[in-house]
Copies of this chain bind each other. A is one copy, B any other.
Amino acid sequence: MEQSKVGRYKFMAEPFHVDCNGELPMNVLSNCMLNAADFHSDARGFGITFLRENKCTWVLSRLAVEMNRMPYQYESFEIETWCEKIYRFFTDRNYNVYDGQGKIIGHARSVWAMIDIDTRKPLDLLSVQSGRLVDYVDPDLECPMEKPSHIKLHEGKLVKEYTSQYSDIDINGHVNSVKYMQHILDIFPMEKYKAQRIKRFEIAYVSECYYGNTLSFYKEEPEENISDIEVKCNDTVACRSRVVFENK
């Protein structure tokens, strides 16, 4: 069955997933986007079935999300996803988020690579499956938000240390990509989430951390309402994030 270039998937803001405001937190919404990416690529022959047979895996490199509002407890929402561009080693995948009434409430942009599980080397996406990935690229669909930025800290201050536990570790033995987001969001006090909302969230993954590693979180504020965070493990950068708040 031929698949369209765009996939659209339904989700619900589960009661035990929402935050103190009754809204989906950014890490849970991002997890839904990663699931949508998974469903979309699997239906087009580049998902878990293909990956298992070819001993490779998709790796999320960057994610930037911009939301006008977050889905509220019990609200149904939909995520639309498509590939905007394929480079040799990376693909740009975009997302639109629709509320229960079909109104767009946000967007996201992500960058992915496909790596060989054994060598951890990236595969040439233009030649995987005889280049069939390119057939699904839709360069014209609009995703009206800035691309992921290059986050660079100058004098970050150590604000938190955290040692990874059982619940942080994924099937590959690494700290789960979504868990980094949660630990970053937990740097900010609940009072801040009561008074402000996250307008834009970005994360860029640099290197993997493992069970029992101590993660150090450094933070600086280049501008009012913008926090840049660098997570380090044994002096190596694991990921960087930018969180942009705005008053409610």
Q: Which residues of A contact B (CB under 8 A)?
A: 14-16, 18-22, 25, 27, 31, 34-35, 38, 48, 73-74, 165-167, 169-171, 173, 176-178, 182, 185-186, 188-190, 193, 211-212
Contact = CB atoms under 8 A, between A and B. Distances in A.
A38 B15 contact: yes
Contacts of A74: 48
A15 to B, nearest CB: 7
B171 A185 contact: no
A76 to B, nearest CB: 13
Nearest to A168: B186
Contacts of A167: 19, 25, 27, 182, 185-186
Contacts of A212: 190
A18 B171 contact: yes
A186 B166 contact: yes
Nearest to A27: B167
Q: Rank and list the top 9 A-B pairs by shortest CB-CB distance, nearest first.
A: A165-B186, A22-B171, A20-B169, A16-B178, A190-B211, A167-B182, A166-B186, A166-B190, A16-B31
B19 A166 contact: yes
B170 A188 contact: no
Contact of A16 (B14, B21, B177, B185): B177
Contacts of A34: 15-16
A21 B169 CA distance: 9
A177 B166 CA distance: 18
Listed residue (A74, A169, A182, A190) with the most chain B CB atoms within 10 angstroms of its CB: A190
Nearest to A177: B16
A31 B18 contact: no
A91 B47 CA distance: 43
A21 B171 contact: yes
Listed residue (A22, A170, A173, A189) with the most chain B CB atoms within 10 angstroms of its CB: A170
9 contacts: A15-B170, A16-B34, A18-B171, A19-B170, A20-B211, A22-B171, A165-B186, A167-B185, A167-B186
Given A73-B171, A211-B190, A166 B16 contact: no
A29 to B, nearest CB: 12
A76 B25 CA distance: 25
B48 A171 contact: no
